[in-house]
A and B are shown apart, each in its own frame.
Chain A
Amino acid sequence: MTAIIETDGLAKHFRSFWRRRVVRAVDGISLAVKPGAAFGLLGPNGSGKTTFVKLLLASVRPTAGRAMLFGRDCWDVAARRAVGYLPENHRFPTYNTGSQMLDFYAALSGMPRLERKRRATELLELVGLSDWGGVRIGKYSKGMLQRLGLAQAMMHRPKLLILDEPTDGVDPVGRREIRDILGALRREGVTIFLNSHLLGEVELFCDEVAIIRRGRVAAAGALAELTAASGYRLSADGVSDAVREELRRSAQQVAVKNGLVDFHFADREAANAALDRLRQSGSQIDSFTHVRSTLEEVFVRAVEESKEGA
C-alpha cells in the first residue's frame, strides 16, 4: 500500500549570510505514514518539526532527499490537491469574514463556487462558528481562529490533514471538540499528521509517533509499542527482610511505602516468580500491575538518549 507521506533522507540545511555557519534544521529524515493513520510528530523547540512540515508542503526546498505525498513528489502541484493544512502562527487576512476566508482558500483548491458555499456553511456549523461567518476575522479570538483554520483545512474534503499545533489557544472544551472532529475524520479514513508539543494531545489521539531532535529521528513507531510495558509492579504486605533481599536480586527497583514493599520487575517471568515466592513465604499481595511508559517518559528518554549519542 502506498504511504500517504513518505520521506527519504530528507534534509534542509540553512546557511548563514556569509555561508560560514550551517544549521541542519532537518538532517536526513526518513518516515512513512500509512493511509488512515493518526501520526504525531514530536520534538523539543527548534528540533526541526516545522521545517519538516514546510518541506512536505513545498514551502522550503530540500537540501537533500525527497518528500512524497500520495506517491508523488511534494513539489508536484497535484500531490497537494488532497492535502488540508493548518499552519502554526497562521495569519489569515483580517479583511475577510470567516465565510470569505473559507471560500478563498477552497477556491485555491479548485472547488466550484456552489459547493464552496454549501461546505462553508456546513463547516462553520461543525466548528461552532455558524453565527460568526459574516464577521471579519480581525474580531475573532485565538481559539476561534484555530477553529476557523481547521475548517479551512477541511473545506475541500482532503484525504490528508497536516495540522501544526491545532489546539494552540483553544480552551479544554474546545480541544475536546477538535479531537472529536478529528476522530470523526479518521473514521472516514482521513490520514492525520499532527505536529504538536502537547504530549497529552498526541497520546490521546495518535497511534503512531516520531520524535525528532536536532533534525533527526530520535524514536519512531506505533505509540502502543513505544509506551509498551516498561515492567511490572508488585506490591506486598508482610514481606520478611530475607525475602525482600532475595527478590532485590531480580527486581529493578525496591521501595517501601506505607508499610508495603513495592517491587518493580522488567519482565513478566521475573514478576511471576516473585509472586510465587511471596505467596510461599506467607506475604499478602496488595497489587500486581502491568506498568506502561507515558509518552512523556518515552519522549524524555528518546531526547536524552539522542543527546548522549550525539
Chain B
Amino acid sequence: MIETLALVRDTFRESFARKIFWGFLGCSTALILVFLLALHIDLVEGAMAAVSVFGQSVDRGRLVEVDTVVKKLLGGVAAFLFSAGLFLSVFASAGLIPTVFEPGRIELLLSKPVSRTRLLLGRYLGTLAVIAANMAYLVLGVWIVLGAKTGVWHWSFLLSAALTVFCFAVILTIVLLVAVLSSSPALATMVAFFFLIVSPVLAQHARLAPLFNTQWPRDVVQGLYYLFPKVYDMGNMSRLALIERSVSSWIPLWSSAAFAVVTLAAGLWVFSRKDY
C-alpha cells in the first residue's frame, strides 16, 4: 500500500510541476465563478425564475421553471465535460504515463522491490486521480453553487460526472498501452484522440451500414462499434441520466469496461515482458 500511495503522490507532484493540475483547477474555478457571480437567478413564487447571465436575460424576460433552468445548465456542463473536458484531460495527462519509461528513470524504478504490474497500475491510478480530482472539483463546485442559488439539487448530475470519469479511465487504458509500446507521449495522445473522434462516427453504425454496397464493410463498421469504447453512447447515457430518463441499453457501459480491462491487461503484459 505504501508503494502504491507513493506512486499516486508522485504523479500528483509531476502534474503540479507541469502546471497541468493548476491549469485544470484554474479553468474549473473560472467556470464555477461564472456560475457564482455572473449567473443571476431570481426565484419567483418558488418554482418560477428569471435567469440572467452578466446582467442579460437569457429567456427574454419570460419566467421559466427553475428545474428546467437548472437541468439545462447542468446539461451544458455535462456536455462540456464529455466533449472538451475529455479531450483536455487526455491532452493534459497523456505525458504523465510515458515519462515513467524515460531512460535513467525506469531502471531505478524497476530495481525497487515493487512488481512491474504495481508500478504501472500505480501510475495509471495516479493519473486517473489527478483528472478525477479536477472533475470532482468542477462538478461539485457547479452543483453546490446552482443548488444553493436555486434550492434544486440534481443528484443525477453527480452520476453523469462519475460516468465522465469512467469514460476517461477507459481512454486512459489506451494511452497506457500505446505508451508502453512506444514510450511516446505524442503517439499515445494521437491514438487516444482517434478513439474519441471515431466514437460518434461508429455510434451511427446503423445509418452507415446501408451506405456500403458490399457486406464486409458493414460487418467491419458493426464489429468496430462493438469492439471500441463507446464514448459517444456514454455521453448520451449521461444526458439521459440528467433528464431522469431510463437508459435503454447498458451495452455501451459494460462493453467499454470490457475494452478497458483487455487494453489494461495487454499494457501490463507488454510492460512485464519489456527490456529497459
Which residues of A pack against B, CB within 8 Å?
A: 54, 57-61, 77-78, 80-81, 83, 85, 87, 89-96, 100, 103-105, 107-113, 152, 162
A59 and B112 CA atoms in complex are apart in Å by 10
A185 and B16 CA atoms in complex are apart in Å by 37
A58 pairs with B105, CB closer than 8 A: no
A107 and B103 CA atoms in complex are apart in Å by 21
Selected A-B contacts with CB under 8 Å, 24 pairs: A59-B110, A61-B275, A77-B115, A78-B113, A80-B112, A80-B113, A83-B111, A89-B104, A90-B107, A93-B105, A95-B13, A100-B13, A104-B10, A105-B108, A105-B112, A107-B6, A108-B3, A108-B6, A108-B7, A110-B2, A110-B3, A112-B2, A152-B108, A162-B111
Chain B interface category by residue count: 20 to 34
> Among B9, B18, B108, B275, which residue has the most Cβ atoms of chain A within 10 A?
B108
A90 pairs with B275, CB closer than 8 A: no
Interface residue from A87, A104, A111 paired with B107 (Cβ < 8 Å): A87
A110 pairs with B104, CB closer than 8 A: no
Decide yes or no whether B109 CB sits under 8 A from chain A: yes
A91 and B115 CA atoms in complex are apart in Å by 21
Grouping DSSP codes into helix (H, G, I), strand (E, B) and loop, the B interface class, with mixed when no group exceeds half, is: helix
B108: chain A residues within 8 A (beta carbon): 85, 87, 90, 92, 105, 152
CB distance from B41 to the nearest CB of A (A): 42
Closest Cβ neighbor of B3 among chain A residues: A108
A54: chain B residues within 8 A (beta carbon): 107, 275-276
A107: chain B residues within 8 A (beta carbon): 2-3, 5-6
Decide yes or no whether B207 CB sits under 8 A from chain A: no
CB distance from A55 to the nearest CB of B (A): 10
Question: A61-B275, A107-B6, A108-B6 are contacts. A93–B14 as well, Cβ < 8 Å?
Answer: yes
A109 pairs with B113, CB closer than 8 A: yes
Closest Cβ neighbor of A108 among chain B residues: B112
A92: chain B residues within 8 A (beta carbon): 105, 108
A108 and B113 CA atoms in complex are apart in Å by 7
